Structure 1
Amino acid sequence: MEGERARMMGAEEASKDGMPHDDAGNERRKRFRDGLTHREKQGPREGLRERALSPHQVQSAQGPRWTLGAKLRSESQTPAFLAGLWAQAREGLFTDVIFSFSDGPRILAHRNVLCAKSAIFQRMFSSNMIEAKTGVINISDFSRRSFFCFLELLYLDAPGSGWDSNVDGRELWSLADKYDVQSVKDCLLRALDESNVPAAASYALSHWDPSDNPLAEACAAVGSKRIRCITALEGVSSEVIGLLLCGDVTGKRAQLDRFQLIQRWCVATNATASSAEVQGLLSRIRFGAIAREDFEAFVRTSCLVSDEQILSLRPGRVTPVRGWRVTGAIGSRGSAPGQLLEPRGIAVTMDGHIVVCDSGNKRVQVLSAIGGRELRTLGRGGGGGVDVDMEHPCRVTVCRESGHILVTDSSRNMVHRFSRDGSELLHSFGSTGVGQGQFRGAWGIAVSGGGREVYVTDINNHRVQVFDEHGAFLRSFGGQGSNAGELLMPCGVTVNHQGTEVIVVDGGNNRLAVFTPEGEFVRLVRGLGLLSALERPDDVAVGPSGEVVVSCWKQNKVEVFDAQGAYLRTHTGAEDTKEGRGRLCIPSGVALGAAGELYVVEFGGSRVRVFCDGVAAA
């Protein structure tokens, strides 16, 4: 292909548009190239080339497919005479060029239009080449579909009625580069948006020198400012993110935008904060240029920057806030006393022990908070407790006044109340159905501040039912939907220490819904920003100072909010470096102890992770 282009060009290089660049453009390009010098030092990339690629090379190239959005269609107004010429070409009127393909019928075109748009075509048809004599050009290295769309852009400077939305932008750019059609490149550059910039940047970085390529420069200009779509970053390499960080960094929020681009890439690719790639990208952020309020709201809570790094990044500008640090784990996978299998819920007794719904073993275990020694077992097998037939113990709570232990069984749709020490079953209530006092998945459970009312989430009836302390039905609230006051598959529930608010995990809507004890809607909590957004929240607990802790099983994290729903911080367990632990694995239940310790049940890890109260840098 390189030889073909040289043959068409002769000894001279193809002429460009010849238009001088403005001073602002020169300054922008200088900043871009200066930014490239801060990329990780590396040798020349093997196979780096400044020529068009064949479809085989395009399809085998690493990186995501470059799709073209609606912006391509809306940014250009086609003159009527060009539209008329394209219509004539499609009808075969007054054409004098034939493009022949092996994968479809020929395409007709006008020699004058091709020569006006492309110096390559101009030299081809003004030479003694066979194509100039016959007017037939065989296209063997591109598909007919891609070439048709390329010609449509060449004629119209915009997609026409025959446009194929599935065409790959990589092939169009490669065609525009091969035939040196700047107008097609301009169309593709105008079409860059947050959905396709990562893919276009990946393509540009893989096949051209980024310091001398308009596609790479245009991608960097869009870069961190506009990319908000996490899915667009899936499969993108850290080198591409480095390129996107080379755009304009002079704006007021430029450094924060660049940091949040790295955050989104970490979410899209599951990159860990400690990896060399992430740390290399973070080293390019000027954290001192980020406003203090933004630093505290986004950087400090991101889990990408450690406390030690925060103190070094903002010396003398940090304040201590309360936090948790992983201190250990309780339990292991199995069925022996003290072992767990797919545990669900957890609570802390008045004596400081922990109660765990050992769902996979169809039992509830009371364990010592230190060492995890089994003290009592509720369910099949007895074990010093009460032999109650539970099919799937799901959630557990402890009444702060009486110390009674209340357990939901989501398979049998029942609620069991046990004595404080678990030695006696006091009563049970509930059945399967849609009526009052019936459940289709009795799931979360909480007791009001005075101990007189019990709140149970009815997950598949999309409601919360309220009972008195003896199990008599009182009222319900919620109902299926996503509007304020409606619920979709509610799972966890808790009551604040003042007894003034009932907090429901609205799992299907990825949010928390706060109600009065009577069931009147108060507010929603959805999370703030990228990493604090709730996705598949499962359980909730409230601490003595009002902090709200939410487990999110799909994201393997625990979110912490203040009493009003403002985001505070995220815990993933990633700081636990002990072998065999590390990040949380499907956290399904949370509970807070009297001393401020946080207990997180791992459904996937079949254990309980323990976080002790400490101090984190802010």
Structure 2
Amino acid sequence: MATAHREDTDHGEDNFILEIHRIKERIQIQFVELRDCLSVRENTLIEELENILARYCTYKMEVEKITERRKRLKYQKRLYRNDEVNKLGKLVEKAGVINYTDQWNNCVKVFDSTAKYLFKFGDSKGENKMSLPTGLTICGNRILISQSSHCIMNYQLDGKFISKVGKDGNGNLEFNYPQGITIDELNRDVYICDYNNNRIQILSENLHYKSQFGKDILYNPCDIKLNRNNIFILGQSNPCLHIFNKDLVLLHRLVRHVEY
């Protein structure tokens, strides 16, 4: 009887060991399956991340190209604007003398009627320094110059500084990058293109504020000319010519669309 009991015990231990091995094998199989599943998911995730990174790099390159293109276009438009503004009247003739705004050299150059250079003026430093002059007109015995530091400079014909008016802002007698400037020969009013404020400010001959117009009509006005009956205003952005009468009523709007 003792021998039979031992055989039963040994048989039970063998079954227990076999069961342990089977459980171990199942665990190993499940572990391998889980590892393979995780590997597949990891590879899929890595591929997705690589695709996202590739799309981001492509997007970044496109943004850089667009940014560089915009910089080039902005520079070209600035050159074009300067050329057009000069054609529209940057060279102002007065008593056989021509005054020319040299924008990038921050000065005004004076030539005689034969284009012989005479002299230049414009303080290079200090509170009254000339900074990117953009517009010029003769007002009696004075030269009025608009410049990028948001003000109007007032000089004698010999280039001696008199005064300046205006500051940065959008109120009366405040400017945001003033450009084209001209004078009405009939009443001596001064008309100034207030570029980034999208309007025209009108000052008296003594540079006191009188009125303004063009808000909600003009967009980046850069030059202005007057004749006896009309006011002609050139807009830079998508070049547009506005024609007003002297009562400041819009008569015509001529648009030239530019494709980039």
Q: TM-score, normalised by structure 2?
A: 0.63
Cα distance, 1:458 vs structure 2: 1.7
CA radius of gyration, larger in: 2
User: What aligned pairs does 1:113-192 form with structure 2 within 5 A after superposition?
Assistant: none
Which amino acid in structure 2 is aligned with residue 522 of structure 1? K
The structure with the largest strand share of the pair is 2
Q: Which of these residues, 246, 250, 254, is aligned with residue 567 of structure 1?
A: 250
Q: Give the Cα separation in 2 of the matches to 1:499 and 1:413.
A: 30
Cα distance, 1:553 vs structure 2: 1.1
Q: Which of these residues, 187, 199, 205, is aligned with residue 517 of structure 1?
A: 205
Alpha-carbon spacing, 1:504–1:527, altered in 2? closer, same or farther (3 Å): same
Q: Does the residue aligned with 1:411 lie in a helix, a strand or coil?
A: helix
CA RMSD of aligned residues (A): 2.5
Alignment of 1:472 onto 2:153 = no
The structure with the largest helix share of the pair is 2
Cα distance, 1:342 vs structure 2: 3.1
**Residues 114-166 of structure 1, C-alpha deviations (whole Å, 9 max, x = no match):** xxxxxxxxxxxxxxxxxxxxxxxxxxxxxxxxxxxxxxxxxxxxxxxxxxxxx
Alignment of 1:507 onto 2:190 = no
Alpha-carbon spacing, 1:482–1:524, altered in 2? closer, same or farther (3 Å): same
Q: Give the Cα separation in 2 of the matches to 1:431 and 1:471.
A: 10
Q: Which of these residues, 442, 446, 459, is aligned with residue 133 of structure 2?
A: 442
Q: Give the Cα separation in 2 of the matches to 1:493 and 1:537.
A: 11
Q: Does the residue aligned with 2:196 lie in a helix, a strand or coil?
A: helix
Q: Give the Cα separation in 2 of the matches to 1:398 and 1:405.
A: 6
Partner in structure 2 of residue 548 of structure 1: 231
CA contact (8 A) 1:346 1:396 kept: no
Q: Which of these residues, 73, 80, 89, is aligned with residue 342 of structure 1?
A: 80
Alignment of 1:490 onto 2:178 = yes
Q: Give the Cα separation in 2 of the matches to 1:585 and 1:550.
A: 18
Q: Which ranges in structure 2 are unaligned for 5 or more consecutive residues?
A: 1-78
Partner in structure 2 of residue 311 of structure 1: none
Q: Give the Cα separation in 1 of the matches to 2:126 and 2:152.
A: 12
Partner in structure 1 of residue 27 of structure 2: none
Q: Does the residue aligned with 2:175 lie in a helix, a strand or coil?
A: coil
Alpha-carbon spacing, 1:568–1:403, altered in 2? closer, same or farther (3 Å): farther
Which amino acid in structure 1 is aligned with residue 198 of structure 2? N
Structure 1 runs, 4 residues or longer, greater than 6 Å off: none
Partner in structure 1 of residue 122 of structure 2: 430
Partner in structure 2 of residue 419 of structure 1: 112
In the alignment of these two chains, the number of paired residues is 182
Partner in structure 1 of residue 101 of structure 2: 408
Q: Give the Cα separation in 2 of the matches to 1:417 and 1:560.
A: 31
Partner in structure 2 of residue 398 of structure 1: 92
Cα distance, 1:498 vs structure 2: 2.2
Q: Give the Cα separation in 2 of the matches to 1:498 and 1:476.
A: 24
Partner in structure 1 of residue 147 of structure 2: 458
CA contact (8 A) 2:232 2:242 kept: yes
Cα distance, 1:421 vs structure 2: 2.8
Q: Give the Cα separation in 2 of the matches to 1:569 and 1:472.
A: 40
Alpha-carbon spacing, 1:447–1:548, altered in 2? closer, same or farther (3 Å): same
Alpha-carbon spacing, 1:518–1:567, altered in 2? closer, same or farther (3 Å): same
Q: Give the Cα separation in 2 of the matches to 1:456 and 1:447.
A: 9
Alpha-carbon spacing, 1:553–1:500, altered in 2? closer, same or farther (3 Å): same
Cα distance, 1:584 vs structure 2: 5.9
